Structure 1
Amino acid sequence: MERLKSWFLSSYLLLATLACVFLLMQLVEHLRIELLGALMACSAMPGFFLWLYVRRPARTSAHLFGVTAYAWLGACLAVFGTLTSRDPLWWPVLFALPLGLGGFLLYLLWYSRLPRRRLLQRLVPLPSFTAYQLDGTPVTSDSLVGTPTVWIFFRGNWCPLCVAQVREIVALHEDLTARGVRVVLVSPQPLARTQALARRFDVPLMWLQDRDGQAARALGIELRYGVPAGLRLLGHGQHTLMPTLVVTSKEGDVVYVDQSDNYRLRPRPQAFLKVLDSEKAHR
């Protein structure tokens, strides 16, 4: 199933984009409502991903109501235009329904959902694992006990939501440092990619590579074949992890964990800052 998902996103985005180009060319020649509707439905997914890369949000809503309404409106216009036309064109409906609306609903209700995983338990030690620093030096999670820590497990530079979440954490760097909190960012992507991200933000956070997915397996968040197939050609690897945020106490116990079943849902900083303040008050 995960192999199928890895091929779905790249293939569908390419197909939907090509369909948009074709429909736009047809619409320029023949201004018809069914062509406009088909174009709207097919552009829902490419438009959404363009918005992700331009606006760079750290999270979205679960149901993407705006995009969903746009895709449904396009499909309805295509059907309406075909049924009311004196000289109906039926093929735009095939673009609008199976390709445009159908593909988007597959992304929304199937692709975005993460598989079941073992949930991390609160008030128990974080599972032990070994990761690698930017210079390739190994470090164990057990060696980082002694300081309250925010752990960000992110997919990689290729994920706009992950990069936006990292940017959000970077913006809180001074605040977290003042609270005596360490930030550790862990990704399974090739080390050179993480090094590039660290240079981009240029703040003294701890960046770690989850080489061979050891940390992901220890925490139960491994996602095999989770990297979209098209991105593998750019050297991003093929396996990744499920986005997860964990806060551990000074003693190394898990005091907060966010393990959403949807990769687009990420916790807001206020949620774990409140936990950190509560932990500080009890120390």
Structure 2
Amino acid sequence: MSLQEKLDTFKADFEAGKPPYNVPYSVIEVMHRATAELIASGAAAKVLKAGDKASVFTLNDPDGSPVSSTDLLAKGPLVVSFYRGVWCPYCNMELQALEAALPSFRELGANLIAISPQTAVNSRKSVRQNSLDFPILSDTHNDVAASFGLRFDLPDYLVELYRNLKNDLTAFNGDESWTLPMPGRFVIGRDGVILYAEVNPDYTRRPEPEDMLPVLRKAAGAGT
């Protein structure tokens, strides 16, 4: 089953209120409204694209050690996945799919990192729960996400819903801003130029990890 098929199956069960979710449809309506408004805002059109120079960054891994994009790119192409956090089931399924594809990335000389606004404690939880063999870096305030064009402010009505659902992003992220990144996937060449970019303001839609393999094969062949 593809990643998107798994996401679609989960979404259908969640929105149908099947156990253990039992979510009232009024909650689903609010989520649909927020997604539709983010799509209509055109925010996704402002995200860095293939051919753009990627932002340079240094972020801490779950153990507090700094990880530099410059250092990683010195070793080969870099796959970067921006995701919302450990609390998001769609993100966890994506992390698991990326983990399954990790050997293919490494065979082509590429490294993989995930970036989230969540605290180190929650990143360690993500790594543990999803059995990951790649690091999750903490992007405080979504600053790096913003440099890629991914950060957005949650509307007040969605903040209220999240609080009612006990999904307090200020606690997950250690940040009072109530911002999130649109889920984004990038392949960056050794020269810092973006070779592949996919972003979707609908967080229930994610590209397949295998979609990046042609770009990575080309990068490996070109030695970039």
TM-score range, shorter chain: 0.7 to 0.9
Report how far residue 57 of structure 1 moved: 6.2
Q: Which amino acid aligns with 2:183?
A: P
Report how far residue 150 of structure 1 moved: 0.7
Report how far residue 275 of structure 1 moved: 1.7
Is 1:215 aligned to residue 137 of structure 2?
Answer: no
Q: 1:236 aligns with which of 164, 172, 178?
A: 172
Q: Which amino acid aligns with 1:268?
A: E
What is the distance in 2 between the residues matched to 1:59 and 1:65? 9
Q: Which amino acid aligns with 1:258?
A: E
Greater Rg by CA? 1
1:170 aligns with 99
What is the distance in 2 between the residues matched to 1:220 and 1:274? 25
> TM-score, length-normalised on structure 1?
0.60
What is the distance in 1 between the residues matched to 2:152 and 2:209? 24
1:180 aligns with 109
Between the aligned residues of both structures, percent identity stands at 22
What is the distance in 2 between the residues matched to 1:257 and 1:168? 17
Q: Which amino acid aligns with 1:231?
A: N
Is 1:282 aligned to residue 216 of structure 2?
Answer: no
Equivalences for 1:119-198 in 2 at 5 Å? 119-146=47-74, 147-198=76-127
1:116 aligns with 42
Q: Which amino acid aligns with 2:194?
A: V
What is the distance in 1 between the residues matched to 2:116 and 2:108? 25
Q: Secondary structure at the match of 1:184?
A: strand
Report how far residue 273 of structure 1 moved: 1.4
Q: Deviation digits for residues 130-183 of structure 1, max 9, x if unmatched?
A: 311222123333332221111011110100000000000111122221221100
**Would the aligned equivalents of 1:189 and 1:210 in 2 still touch at CA under 8 Å?**
yes
Contiguous gaps of at least 5 residues in structure 1: 1-54, 72-98
Which structure has more relative contact order (CA 8 Å, sep 6+)? It is 2
1:32 aligns with none
**Would the aligned equivalents of 1:156 and 1:187 in 2 still touch at CA under 8 Å?**
yes
Q: Which amino acid aligns with 1:174?
A: P
Q: Secondary structure at the match of 1:125?
A: coil
Q: Deviation digits for residues 220-255 of structure 1, max 9, x if unmatched?
A: 211334773231189324432111100111222100
What is the distance in 1 between the residues matched to 2:13 and 2:137? 36
Is 1:60 aligned to residue 18 of structure 2?
Answer: no
- Judged with a 3 Å threshold, the aligned counterparts in structure 2 of structure 1 residues 265 and 233 are, in CA distance, closer, same or farther, namely closer
What is the distance in 2 between the residues matched to 1:181 and 1:278? 12
Decide which structure has greater strand share: 2
- Judged with a 3 Å threshold, the aligned counterparts in structure 2 of structure 1 residues 249 and 107 are, in CA distance, closer, same or farther, namely same
Q: Secondary structure at the match of 1:262?
A: coil
The CA RMSD over aligned residues, in Å, is: 3.2
Q: Deviation digits for residues 72-98 of structure 1, max 9, x if unmatched?
A: xxxxxxxxxxxxxxxxxxxxxxxxxxx
Question: How many residue pairs were aligned?
Answer: 197
- Judged with a 3 Å threshold, the aligned counterparts in structure 2 of structure 1 residues 261 and 204 are, in CA distance, closer, same or farther, namely closer
1:86 aligns with none
1:250 aligns with 190
What is the distance in 2 between the residues matched to 1:67 and 1:200? 20
**Would the aligned equivalents of 2:58 and 2:67 in 1 still touch at CA under 8 Å?**
yes
What is the distance in 2 between the residues matched to 1:122 and 1:281? 18
Q: Secondary structure at the match of 2:167?
A: helix
**Would the aligned equivalents of 1:198 and 1:207 in 2 still touch at CA under 8 Å?**
yes
